[in-house]
Amino acid sequence: MHPVPEAAISATADEIREAALEQFARDGYSSTSMRDIASSVGIKAASLYNHFGSKEAILWDLTLTAFEELLRCRDLAIANLPDNPTPQDRLACLVTSHVAFHARNSNQALLVNSQLAALSKTHYRKAVAMRAQYEATMREVIDEGITKGVFTTIDARVTTFAILQMGMAVSGWFRPEGPLTVSDLCAIYVDLAAKMLTPLPLKRKE
């Protein structure tokens, strides 16, 4: 009956993506109905099936795009590093792209960070693998800094989580119309991350 396009490319499909992304991010996947999405686009629920095979297919389409853009941002930032970057350079670069993405693309970030559980088992596994790949980049930079003696931490794994997750949380509260620019925000988080990994010379209780 209906064709089930592998990756719908019409203008209507993009409107569906936009509406679904916003509502999935704001209200959650299971609180958003196909009729909700359709009505945002100005069509009936049944017409969604001209563009996507199922509700889960919309979520997966959005999830895949979000991960692709997240990884693309990371790669772009890495490509712009100076020659022979220090671990500090690499850390600043990664934290900046991480925080900037979560500030600028908060809906995509919220989707990726809290709606994965709604995916089918197969898609869920792929998504988790992409997330692991993304997180590994941060971990490698931190490990490199530790090996080279410029970073110190009690626990590299936990510190990696902490840096990633304080950045992810940005998508929950940051508003571009607020007092901070994205650039301000990135500078703050770069500073925090750097301090988290810097040995404390402290204890000057002479």
Report the interface residues with DNA, using CB under 7 A: 1-3, 10, 12, 32-36, 38, 42-51, 53-56
Instruction: Find where tokens 């350079």 sit.
Output: 89
| 203 near a copy of itself, judged by CB under 8 A | no
49 near a copy of itself (CB under 8 A): no
Please state the closest distance from residue 165 (CB atom) to a copy of itself, in A. Answer: 4
Q: What gap in Å lies between CA 126 and CA 179, rounded to an integer?
A: 37
> How many Å apart are CA 153 and CA 143, to the nearest integer?
10
Distances in Å between the alpha carbon of 15 and those of 5, 8, 105, 134?
16, 11, 17, 28
Per-residue binding string, a copy of itself, 1-40, x by CB under 8 A, is --------------------------xx-xx---------
Per CB under 8 A, 121 contacts a copy of itself: no
Q: Are 127 and 134 in contact (CB under 8 A)?
A: no
129 interacts with a copy of itself by CB under 8 A? no
Count of residues interacting with a copy of itself (CB under 8 A): 35
